[in-house]
Structure 1
Amino acid sequence: MKLSQYKYNLPQELIAKFPVENRDESRLMVLNRKTKTIEHKVFKDIIDYFDDGDVMVFNNTKVFPARLYGNKEKTGAEIEVFLLRELNKEQRLWDVLVDPARKIRIGNKLYFGDDDVLVAEVIDNTTSRGRTLRFLFDGTYEEFKSTLYRLGETPLPKFIRREVTPEDKERYQTIYAKHEGAVAAPTAGLHFSRELLKRLEIKGVDFAEITLHVGLGNFRSVDVEDLTKHKMDSEQINIPEDAVKIVNSAKDQKSKICAVGTTVLRTLESSVSTDGYLKPFAGWTNKFIFPPYEFSVPDAMVTNFHLPLSTLLMMVSAFAGYDFLFDAYKLAISEKYRFGTYGDAMLII
């Protein structure tokens, strides 16, 4: 597959700027791979496609307020810092992206908040965009973390061209988020409400939880035409024993296993035994899925409508089938479905 095969014209006005009022009332396009049929539903109708004993696998990562705005010493130039991950708790070291990157050198100090309540020193240039910062802070670790998060902003993707609102703090988070560490929300999960989860539970659908801390690699552009040459950023995953039991038992029963989102799809496919069963795993994955690809674990998936040329679109095309997915996308554009993080949903069965 080539990068250019994932280009399509997406009108800017179809990129959702805000979520729908109720999580489970976004639109839902249902793709049936066997019959090659497409249905138009509302998200809460998803319950009609699952039965007693089927399993939904969720990513329980939690987004933290990763975007900070500060000023450079001496010049006062405005700098945006995007926290990627904590490298060392004791030394307050963080792996970050800075913008504009060209103005920041090793040894520069950056100031954040009123009265410069937080100061950071640049101690390493890890990549052309990335830096390592040491935060200089006298208080306890808990005080440092709460100061950092108070100054941080909900990290909405840049393609949502608007200011962040207080509502985003809650809406850019799944209702089952538990383990902090993501800099982007696992967006397919944003459509699930407490009421819908309860109704699925009553119907007998089982839930399994894995963790993948979503990194910025999701939004990083692919800059090679030959997809086999693209390297995905590594992301931290955890597949606990109890999730493995639930998934493998459903597999034995020939029940449906539904990956809620591309992050779950990648995680499940990152730890599979030779006979196609899920294995427990804690570590990192840089798995890049694109057609042709034979899936071992999930046989259904929930996902959003992804932007052109994105690795997420490539992954979904491997699951749905390239031609069928692009037919669905053409239809979605003509039917004015909403695209992106706060957009509508797709169920592929």
Structure 2
Amino acid sequence: MLDIRYELTQNKKEKPDESALGFGKYYTDHMFIVDHTEGQGWHDARIVPYQPLALDPAAMVLHYAMESFEGMKAYRLPDGSVQLFRPDRNAERMQNTNHRMCLPSLSTEDFIQAVKALVKTDEDWVPHQEGTSLYIRPFVIATEPHLGVRPSATHQFIIICSPVGAYYSTGINPVKIFVEDEYTRACPGGTGFTKCGGNYAASLISQVKAHDLGYEQTLWLDGVEHKYVEEVGSMNCFFKIDGTVYTAPCVGTVLPGVTRMSCIELLKKWGIPVSEERLPVADVMKASKEGKLEEVFGTGTAAVISPVGELRYEGDVAYINDGKIGEITHKLYDTLTGIQWGKIPDDMGWTVKVD
């Protein structure tokens, strides 16, 4: 268990208008930090006022992208209390990321303790308005000043929080997706399954291209054959074709999303067939032409469920469900958000109270 020291601010910030939060624009009064030193382990856990970091210009995170991060949320319930959604899964995913990136990890218990402690400290920042939440960003950075490629001897694990509204300005309305057929996001043996900043930096060029064509996001294909659908830039992706729901397998090139996992568990509970076999994009476009592409949606902590109304691949466009939200997409959204915001009972055992 972490021995957390508290250094609370005397100058609390003015809170933003909950009806105009956007995403990732505002930050709470405090942040959590714990240091890691090779040979000593984790030490000096503390909650301090939100402030700029002091880093040596030679800190290895700045030169070799030695970092990892997570994304999760705290939700305000109807009775005013606050809860988390499957924080143990975020802890485990971060441990897997850190192993691949040669970074140290907190135990699952310490990770959840740190998250709870910060959320409890800044509990008045958890917004109350419908559809809002407190986004939580844990991350690890390599802090040793060294210009050489090897694992760092010192690190910091930090958590910051941001009150947020909907990730997409369009809300739950269907988004338009561009299928990337030129660039590669991830290859077998790489870091595609991790949450590290380099993955996202490398994806931006395609996102810019998609935006220039009038599309909100990019759907990536596999890096070897450019044939199989994998994931969207900030989401896992699902395709309902002729009654079966397909999503890419987590075999090293796709992020194992917590929302993805939760959707699969719900679909199986409801008796809906789910396939995690590789799905060729050609089969998706063919299903569209045959009228069998019934629903497409993305899943992720930020957006929760994002219906897709249009896919563009090599100049060919698939229109899904007349641009409307599909039945299964809507049911998943209502069920997940209902559990997260405490509007329906959590019969899956996914939520953890912050107390």
Do the two structures share a fold, i.e. TM-score over 0.5? Answer: no
Q: TM-score, normalised by structure 2?
A: 0.25
